[in-house]
Amino acid sequence: MKVLAIMGSPRRNGTGTEVMKMIERRLRERGEVEMEVLHLADVGLQPCRGCFSCIKLGEDRCPFREEREALEKRIEAADGIILVSPGYVQNVSGLMKDFIDRMAYTNHRPRFFGKKVMIVANGGAGLDRTLDALRIAIGGPEVVSELAYLALPWPTRPRTGEKNEKALLRATDRFHDAMVRKDMRPSFGNYMRFRFFKSASEAAREWLPADHAYYHRLDGYYYDVKIGVGTRLMAAASMAIAMPLMRGMAPWSGEDRP
């Protein structure tokens, strides 16, 4: 198995790197693994300019697509991805936020299916919010494991270190086991996401042509998988309730419907 770790800290030898070394050691204890550690500080990823081209017209229309595409090739080559960020003001680092912004189109048009993701936040208070941001960083691969690793700038009780170690081992084992299973059954939430975006892409085809082209060629799901009758019925009922509630976000023709 090949694992790509994407590090969001501007410090190459900080706490996140130490945590990553412990994760790598545990993965090697569980089986053969090829590790690649990528520091975003070394990539020089340009921040998003907010032109909206990647979402509206397609990711190939991004003015800085070459650097993003080089990073995406490394993601494609991996079976698993580990996203690591320090918690800065109860959020991700600036480097990791740049990465998330540059991958924003995948939240409209997911890719990298079948890959498993582990997300890691290290620091003090608010790590749950850092994990919230990491959870939606890439659309398509499945987040299977999360780790909040408490790291403070002063000595802490031995119990804190023990809790960190146990949490790290559990999270790493979940990540490893998910990569081994290779389960691609979608969750109900992901199926609902597909149904919503397919419907929305038709309604907004004039404004989001890339989304419309992407979803127009898809039928039951993003990839070939069996969706149970019960799941389809529940999703249809949920869509019937949700779509009218979201009318305020829909394209407006200038006339209110009754």
59 with 162, same domain: the answer is yes
104 with 19, same domain: the answer is yes
Determine, yes or no, domain membership for 257.
Answer: no
| Residue 51 CB neighbour total at 10 angstroms | 13
> By the 8 A CB rule, do 116 and 80 touch?
yes
| Domain containing residue 233 | 188-249
Number of helical H runs and strand E runs in the chain: 9, 5
| Distances, alpha carbon 207 to alpha carbons 85, 142, 169, in Å | 34, 29, 46
d(CA 234, CA 187): 13
Domain boundary among 132, 165, 181: 181
134 with 243, same domain: the answer is no
244 with 147, same domain: the answer is no
The DSSP annotation for 89-145 comes to SSS--HHHHHHHHHTGGGGTS---TT-EEEEEEEESTTHHHHHHHHHTSSSSSEEEE
d(CA 146, CA 160): 18
If one counts the domains in the chain, the total is 2
Mean pLDDT per segment of 10 residues, for the chain of length 258 residues?
98 96 98 97 95 98 95 98 98 98 98 98 97 98 98 93 98 98 94 95 95 96 95 93 78 65
pLDDT reported for residue 245: 73
pLDDT reported for residue 255: 66
pLDDT reported for residue 154: 93
pLDDT reported for residue 248: 79
Q: Which residues pair with 125 in a beta bridge?
A: none
Determine, yes or no, domain membership for 62.
Answer: yes
pTM over 0.85: yes
Q: Which residues pair with 35 in a beta bridge?
A: 3
Domain boundary among 164, 181, 198: 181
pLDDT reported for residue 257: 54
d(CA 209, CA 224): 24
d(CA 64, CA 25): 35
Q: Rounded to 10 degrees, what is the CA torsion of 169, 175, 180, 184? A: 160
154 with 236, same domain: the answer is no
CATH number at residue 84: 3.40.50.360
pLDDT reported for residue 256: 60
